[in-house]
Amino acid sequence: MGDQGPFLLEIRRVAPEKSSAQAYDALYSEHGLSQIESFYLWLMDRLALPSAGALLDVSCGAGEVVRLAGQRGLRATGVDISLAAARAAQRNAGPGDRVAVGAGEHLPFPDASFDFVTSIGSLEHYVDPVQGVREMARVLRPGGRAYVLVPNTFSLLTNVWIAFRTGRISVDDQPIQRYGARADWEHLLRENGLGAQRVAKYERAWPRNAADRRYYLKRPKEMVRVLAAPFIPLNLAFCFLFTCERTG
């Protein structure tokens, strides 16, 4: 059998006449989409970024990655399609950080502008993820690195478990949701300018502060996932974190 390209499972929850920007403005105005702080600390450990260089966080949300990257000495920039998210990111940003409004499929930056590009739990929600990957590759400098976190179709403790119990798949409040298996995501990235050099799994982050410990104490099932994380095989993990380089 020849190469048939990547296979992604797509779920749409919003009427076509409602734009992504409007949908995300509503989400960020209501409750936001941020994860617990320990997730972002886990992420920064995995990225192992230097203390210099220019970083772009695409679909930055409330700006947690921008803030942490700036604190490490990088020239950090965030961009989000939602004006409400960009305003939240600007409030969280450090004095040297920048925030812009724009879609991930049409980044408002010149070619080869950044040493590092991050896309953390956002590519799967794009109207056009292929164009989103191409744009990340376009703004990444030769020799730079891109980091892309995306969800797994066959997450053992999410989609597989939920399907086993309920006969349904996991969905959230975002307008578009996609899932892919590890090789499908790798194919999508590689064919559009980002070759995956490494892949790490993500299940749940170990709590690193009192607030996150309280979060897990109120959610014992989530704590079980923290403890089970080391034993989950890569191909059955909740999410994949790809470290990529430009292929062109």
Average pLDDT over residues 44-55: 95
3 inside domain: no
77-81, 127-131, 167-171, 181-185: range with lowest mean pLDDT:
167-171
Whole-number pLDDT of residue 15: 55
pLDDT at residue 2 tops 50? no
- The answer to the question of residue 4 being in a domain is no
Report the pLDDT averaged over residues 211-227: 96
Three-class secondary structure assignment of 121-138 = CCHHHCCCHHHHHHHHHH
Provide the H-helix boundaries in 111-209: 129-139, 161-166, 182-190
Specify if 173 maps to a domain: yes
Number of domains in the chain: 1
Q: Which domain holds residue 106?
A: 18-246
Residue 244, both tokens: 């990529």
9 domain-assigned? no
Segment 224-230 shows an average pLDDT of 96
> Residue 225's domain is classified under what CATH number?
3.40.50.150
pLDDT tens sequence across 117-142: 999 999 999 999 999 999 999 999 99
- Does the residue 8 lie in any domain? no
Dihedral of the alpha carbons of 28, 240, 190, 135, in degrees to the nearest 10: 20
Render pLDDT for 78-101 as a digit per residue (tens, 0 to 9).
999 999 999 999 999 999 999 999
Average pLDDT of the chain?
A: 93
Q: Is residue 11 part of a domain?
A: no
Q: Does 14 have pLDDT greater than 80? A: no
Q: Is residue 40 part of a domain?
A: yes
